[in-house]
């Protein structure tokens, strides 16, 4: 009886990868505050933390721009 080949396992994303992807989806749909909340779940020291911080900065700029656009002049 020939041995059956072991099927390749699909990589499982880390919780940080899942959080970053979710935050990006929320940002692209305009749910900026929700995206910021999701990014809080990515811990300091995680390899994806720099990307999360960069996205956080982008979202903060978007929030400031939208606040400035609403402010009467």
Q: For residues 69, 34, 21 and 52, what is the CA-based torsion angle, rounded to 10 degrees?
A: 70
**Tens digit of pLDDT for each residue in 46-63?**
999 999 999 999 999 999
Query: What parts of the chain have a pLDDT lower than 70?
Result: 1, 71-73
Q: What is the pLDDT of residue 4?
A: 83
Q: What is the pLDDT of residue 1?
A: 67
- What are residue 52's phi and psi, to 5 degrees? -65, -40
Q: Could you identify the residue written with the tokens 């990307």?
A: 51
Structure tokens at 48: 């994806």
């Amino acid at each position: 009886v020939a041995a059956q080949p072991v099927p390749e396992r699909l990589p499982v994303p880390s919780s940080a990868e899942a959080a970053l992807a979710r935050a990006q989806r929320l940002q692209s749909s305009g749910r900026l505050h929700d995206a910021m909340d999701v990014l809080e779940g990515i811990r300091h020291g995680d390899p994806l933390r720099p990307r999360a911080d960069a996205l956080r900065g982008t979202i903060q700029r978007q929030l400031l721009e939208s606040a400035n656009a609403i402010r009467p002049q």
